[in-house]
Amino acid sequence: MAELLRTIKYESDRVKGFGREVMSVPGCEQLESCIQCGTCSGVCPLSIYMDSTPRQVMELVRSDFKNEVLHSRTIWLCASCYACTVECPRQIRITDIMYELKQRAIHEGVYPKKFPIPVLAKEFHKMAHNHGRVTENWLATWMFLKTNWLAAIGMWKLGLGLFMRGRFSLKYEGIKRKGELARMMETVDNIDIDKLTDVKPKRKPAH
């Protein structure tokens, strides 16, 4: 018999304050007014493969189910098409919340192992950070080598095709003043953005 999992949730399963934290990101405040109508899921082209629908992700965030939501595949399946954001009757910026959750998952290292999307995001980040530009084919190669080198072999045909059509460059693209960009990033690292008082939009006083 398959292993039985506990599905009930106790208050101790919640990471209290998580929802509030996410909502304090500029643009995410509206989440409080979600009516769970499911429009976001109804328009999401990727909802076909999601474990939790976007609507459920919204509720998990609002109810502080941090562990559940950061482990969800949904946030990695989000293709940032913004279909949900423009349709939501409460004008909740669902896509931005998905971004926020991805950032948190990467930060906490809780993304699914060998799941290539976070790896792509990280590699992309590194490449952009170190070279200033992205060379897509190298990026893809790195990603596959890091997650699933068998798939990388499977991709040889595409790579060859690109190469034949002059779309695969063998050198890394980069900018001239790499030092300049690096220094800019360093400056950002040294600022604690959470300490800036106006970062959190002032909440309307409750009546």
Partner 1 sequence: MEMNQKEIRIGFYVCHCGSNIAAMVDCPDVAKYVGTLPNVVLSRDYKYMCSDPGQELIAKDIAEHKLNRIVVASCSPLLHEHTFRGAVEAGGVNPFFFHMVNIREHDSWVHTDRKEATEKAKGLSQAAIARVAKHKKLEQKKVPIHPDVLVVGGGIAGIHAAMTLANAGKKVYLVEREPSIGGHMAKFDKTFPTLDCAACILTPKMSAVGSHPNITLLSYSEVTKMSGYVGNYDVTVKRKPRYINEDLCTGCQDCISHCVFKEPKFADEFNENLSKRRPVYIPFPQATPQVVLIDPEVCLNFKRSVLTDKCKKTCVEACGEKKAIDFTQKETLLDIKVGTIIVSTGFQTFDAKRIPQYGYGKYPGVYTALEIERLVNTSGPTGGHVVLRDGKTEPKSIGIIHCVGSRDKKTNRWCSRVCCMYSMKLAHLLKEHTGAEVYNFYIDMRTPGKGYEEFYDKLLEEGNHFIRGRVGEVTDWAFTKEEEGKLVIRVEDTLAGYVRRIPVDMVVLATGIEPHSDSNDVRRLFNMSCGSEGFFLERHPKLAPVNTFNDGIYIAGCCQGPRDIPDTVAQAGAAAAECMALIDKGHIEQEPNTAFVLADECCGCKSCLPLCPYTAITFDEALGKASINEALCKGCGTCVAACPSGSIVQNLFDDEEIFSEIKGVLAYE
Partner 2 sequence: MVKYSYFPGCSLKGTGRAYEESLLPVMKALDIELEELDDWNCCGATAYMAVDEVKACVMASRNLAIAEKLGHRELMAPCSACYLVLNKTKHYIHESPSVHHVLDEALKVANLSYSGNIPVKHPLDVLVNTIGLDAIKKRVKNPLKGLKVAPYYGCQIVRPYSTFDDQYNPTTMDRLLEAIGCTVVKDFPLKTRCCGGSLTGTLPEPGLLCSYIILKEALKRGADVIATVCPLCQFNLDGYHDKIEAKWESVRIPTVYFTQLMGLAFGMNERELGLHRGFIPMKPLPAAFAQPVAT
* Residues lying near partner 1 in the complex (CB under 8 A): 35-44, 47-48, 53, 55-56, 87, 89-91
Phi, psi of 178 (to 5 degrees): -60, -35
- In angstroms, the CA 94 to CA 85 distance is 5
From CA 149, how far away is CA 153, in angstroms rounded?
6
3-state secondary structure of 43: helix
User: Residue 11 or residue 109: which is nearer to partner 2 going by CB?
Assistant: 109
**Between 88 and 120, CB nearer to partner 1:** 88
Binding range to partner 2, per CB under 8 A, among 5-13, 31-39, 41-49, 55-63: 41-49
Q: How far is the CB of 169 from partner 2 (least distance, A)?
A: 6
What is the per-residue binding string for ligand SF4 in 24-43, x denoting contact by CB under 6 A?
Answer: ----------xxxxxxx--x
Interface with ligand SF4, residue 101, by CB under 6 A: no
Distance CA 154, CA 74 (A): 25
Contact 109, 82 (CB under 8 A): no
Q: Is 46 in the site for partner 2 (CB under 8 A)?
A: yes
